[in-house]
Every structure is written in C-alpha cells, then in structure tokens.
Amino acid sequence: MSNADPNAPAVPPEAAAALDRFEFLSEQAKGDLQRFVALLFKWQRTHNLVSPATLPDIWTRHVADSLQLLRHAPDFREWVDLGSGAGFPGLIVAIAEKGRPERHFTLVESNLKKAAFLRAAILETGANATVVAERIEAFAPKMAGRADIVSARALAALPELLALAAPFLHEKSTMLFLKGEEFVRETAAASQSFAFDVLEYESATDSGGRVLAIGNLRPTRPQ
C-alpha cells in the first residue's frame, strides 16, 4: 500500500484481531480502515495526531474502541462528533457506515493540522463525513437541534460535555460518550446541572471503562 509507513507494525494480523469482533463490518470497511491506519502512520511522522505510546495498540486502543459505539447507536441520519482529533471515534464510525449513504457525519475539530488530516482521511476512504474546523461553541448555533447522535472521546469531563452537546440536540437525540473509570464521579457531577436518562455499557476495550448512552437531557439550573 503506497501510503503505508515502513515503520508501522504489521497491520493485517492486528486488524483481524480487533475487527473480527464486529460482525457488522463489511470487507470493504475493513479495507478502508486499514487505509485509514496507514495514512495515520504516515502523517504521524510529522504531526502529533495521537500519543506515540498508543500506536503499537492502535487497532484496539483507538479503532475498536471507536467502533463499539455502533453497537449502542439508535437509528440516525446525522451524527456529530465533538473534538474529533485524529478521527476517534467519529471518522472510524463514518468509515464503517460508508455503505449507508443516508447517514452523514460531521466532525468538529478546531486544531487545523488535525482537521487537515481528517479531510485527507475522508478523501482516502470515501467516508460520508464533513470536517468543521471551528470551536464547538462557535459552530453549535449553525447546527442547532439537528444531531440525532452526538459523540465524544477524551474531550472533557461529563458536565462540560453535556453543555457542549446540548445545542446540537433535538428531543430524540442520543449522546454516546466513551468514558474511563471516572464515569461514576463524572455522572454524579453532571447531575448537579442536568437531568438526563443514562444507560451504562461495559467497554469492549477498557475493563474499567463505560460507554454512556444519554438522552432526554434537561438543564436543572442556568448554564
């Protein structure tokens, strides 16, 4: 593959171990994800896209971690990913869903170098996604009430995440957040400012982590 980094670990065995657990992935999607990872390794040589310490475990630590959100996602047409970084989780999910062209992904990332990588990765994989290189707070009014799903990973504590996501939501929206062991404390803190319904799912990649599926968000005091 022309975009592969010669210093990258052998991808196919690691990819199979991580991706075979997701029965919904087509062979095309698996190939697209391999192209994405090859491109990330290429850009990583000159751009700090992800922590170098996580690269040897990229297929589980980043790719599979992102893909698990699809197991908990209701039907949707517009998915907004906040603080997309190098594409986790939003672009990974968009690549997996490329066979569903009615499903669109908006990736909000204010870091211009990371936004440039996201655009290059979309071209490489053909994902149905758009990159918005703006701060979340500035972009939110332009897409108010239009997101069926809002996702985020390693962006902020839950109280801040809910405040950032709120403008994008309509009454049936769902938020999907990947959280580590601090999820109990963060959920309690968020309940001081918001009322919401939450379902907790054990993470498929982090023994202490959770996927939080949150809906019916209502502020309980002025934001």
Condensed to tens digits (0 to 9), the pLDDT of residues 154-183 reads 899 999 999 999 999 999 999 999 999 899
* Residue 5 domain flag: no
Q: What does the DSSP 8-state code read for residue 52?
A: G
15 falls in which pLDDT band (50, 70, 90)?
confident
Beta strands in the chain (DSSP E): 78-82, 104-108, 129-132, 147-153, 169-179, 194-202, 210-219
Residue 8 has pLDDT above 60, yes or no: no
183 in a structural domain = yes
Query: Given the DSSP bridges, would you call strands 78-82 and 147-153 parallel, antiparallel or unpaired?
Result: parallel
Enclosing H/E stretch for 202: strand 194-202
Q: Could you report the per-residue pLDDT of 22-52, keeping only the tens digit for each?
A: 999 999 999 999 999 999 999 999 999 999 9
pLDDT band for position 2 (50/70/90)? very low
Tokens read off for 123: 């071209």
Count of domains observed in the chain: 1
Q: Is residue 162 part of a domain?
A: yes
| CA separation for the pair 87, 114 (Å, rounded) | 9
CA gap 119, 62 in Å, rounded:
18
pLDDT at 81 over 90: yes
At 132 the pLDDT is: 98
pLDDT tens-place string over residues 97-151: 999 999 999 999 999 999 999 999 999 999 999 999 999 999 999 999 999 999 9
The pTM (predicted TM-score) of the whole model is: 0.92
pLDDT of residue 154: 86
Q: 210-219 and 169-179: which strand pairing?
A: antiparallel
Assess contact for 1 and 11: CB atoms under 8 A. no
Radius of gyration for the chain, computed over Cα atoms and rounded to the nearest angstrom = 17
For the segment 219-223, the average pLDDT, to the nearest whole number, is: 74
Strands 104-108 and 147-153: unpaired
Cα 112 to Cα 110: distance, rounded to the nearest angstrom: 6
pLDDT level of residue 9 (50, 70, 90 thresholds):
very low
Give first-to-last CA distance, the chain, whole Å.
Answer: 49
What band does 1 get if pLDDT is binned at 50, 70 and 90? very low
Number of CB atoms found within 10 A of residue 163's CB: 18
Give the three-class secondary structure for 173. Answer: strand
- The Cα 191–Cα 159 span in angstroms is 8
Query: Model confidence over 202-214: pLDDT tens digits?
Result: 999 988 999 999 9
Evaluate whether residue 1 is within a structural domain.
no
Residue range(s) defining the domain that contains residue 39: 11-219
CATH code assigned at 169: 3.40.50.150
Is the model's pLDDT at 3 over the cut of 80?
A: no
Residue 16 lies in a domain: yes
Where does 38-127 show beta strands of DSSP type E? 78-82, 104-108
